Structure 1
Amino acid sequence: MFESLRKNKTGIILMCFSSACVCLGQLLWKLAADGNAIYLFLGFLLYGIGALIMLVAYRFGSLSVLQPMLSLNYVFSIFLSFVILHEKVSLLKCAGVFIIIVGVILIAGGDE
């Protein structure tokens, strides 16, 4: 299990950065809904950087391991909406985040 994790480690790390960039880009789009063109531009920039990082990440691991890492977008989105937008996070959403994180951990080590 740990051998495959080491093999995909670079890809997994890059995919996590990709997810973070994409989520920050989408957050900036949400903030740009009030007409702030700078947020809109920065959102597109971060989203594009996230997409490029994702393409690079695929060079360093298996698709069956790296693609599910994108589900971290949901985790990052809920965290950002709570911290920056002060949205309420229900117990059900917290349970969903926990399940996603456990799934990502299990998939990250399962390339056998």
Structure 2
Amino acid sequence: MKRLLPFVAIVLVLAGCSAPGLSDEERREAFLEVVRVAPELSAAEDEGLIQVGETLCDVMDKADDGKGWEAAALVAEGAGISESSSPMVVAASVQAFCPSHVDEIPDEHLGS
């Protein structure tokens, strides 16, 4: 059950992040709330986490078709995010900062 909570949190907290009307600050706050469930990120600085999230979106933007998810997960792990937390962080980044890539998130990382 504990492993499912971060993914449920993504759905509940970020479901509306790409919806019109949310400010950049609201998307950033939702992103931070979700990624802080990862033990290694609980005490990280806000700006550093946001920079990682935006970088993951840049990676997805530049990746070859169909390779963005895997590339972003590897970059997340290279930034010190655990292999078990990286899918959640990438999914939260996409939902908050680059919703154009939402279709690339594997279903198992959306809690569905």
Q: Structure 1 length normalisation: TM-score? A: 0.31
Q: Structure 2 length normalisation: TM-score? A: 0.31
Larger radius of gyration: 1
More helix per residue: 1
